[in-house]
Structure 1
Amino acid sequence: MTPELDPVIHAQARLRVVVTLNTLPEGDRIAFPGLKDLLGMTAGNLSVHLSKLEEAGYVEITKTHRGRTPVTYVALTRRGRVAFEDYTAAIRGLLDTSVPPASGVT
C-alpha cells in the first residue's frame, strides 16, 4: 500500500512555505515580507497559500503593530510540524517502495 500524501502540503508552493517555516525553531515566527522575499512569491500568491495552511491548522498568522506600522507574522504550528513530519515519512515510504530497474536495462 502506498502512503498517502497530505494534499494541503503537497502543492508545490505550500510545500515550499512549510519547508521554510520548518527551518525556524519551534515557537519562532517570521514577518510576512521576509517570508515572501525568501520564497520569491508575490504577496497575493503567498496569502492564498497561507490561508489554506491556516485553515488546516498548520500555520498561525499573527497581526500586530510595530509602533504604528502593521506587521504580520507567520509561524508553523505544532500540528503543522507533525503534518510535515508525516509528509516527509510518506515521501520516504514512496521512495523506499520504488522498484529499481532490472540489471542491464537502460
Structure 2
Amino acid sequence: MAELDEHLVAPSRLRLMTMLAPVTEAEFASIRDALHVSDSVLSKHLGALEGAGYVDRRKGVFDGRRSTWIALTKAGRLALSGHVSALRELIDGVS
C-alpha cells in the first residue's frame, strides 16, 4: 500500500499543491486568497513545502508591484502523485 506523504496531510498544503499542479506557477496573493488564509499562514506552509523540496519561490514584478511566484518542483509533482495514489487506495478500501 502506498504511503501518505507527511508534508501533504494538512488540508491547506494539499489544496495548495493541487492548485499548483495544472499551472506553471501561481502568484502568492492569488494562492492566499483562494485558500482563505493569511500571509503568515501561507508563508508557513510554503516554508515547509520548500524545505521538503516540493515548491520553489521566485520574486518578480507584476502590475508594477513586487510579487512572489510559487511553482511545483519535479519532486513536488512526484510527491503529490504518490500522495493522491495513497488516498485513492484508502478510499477504494471503504465499503
TM-score, L = length of structure 1: 0.80
Structure 2 CA distance for aligned equivalents of residues 18 and 44 of structure 1: 17
Alpha-carbon spacing, 1:67–1:94, altered in 2? closer, same or farther (3 Å): closer
| Structure 2 partner of 1:59 | 55
| Structure 2 partner of 1:4 | 3
The alpha-carbon deviation at position 96 of structure 1 amounts to: 2.3
Are 2:67 and 1:71 aligned?
Answer: yes
Match of 1:90 among 82, 86, 89: 86
Would the aligned equivalents of 2:2 and 2:82 in 1 still touch at CA under 8 Å?
no
Alpha-carbon spacing, 1:91–1:67, altered in 2? closer, same or farther (3 Å): closer
Structure 2 CA distance for aligned equivalents of residues 38 and 97 of structure 1: 31
Unaligned 5+ runs, structure 2: none
Are 2:37 and 1:37 aligned?
Answer: no
- Local SS of the residue matching 1:3: coil
Which structure has the larger Rg over C-alpha atoms? Answer: 1
> How many residues in Structure 1 have an aligned counterpart in Structure 2?
95
State the identity as a percent: 35
Unaligned 5+ runs, structure 1: 101-106
The alpha-carbon deviation at position 92 of structure 1 amounts to: 1.1
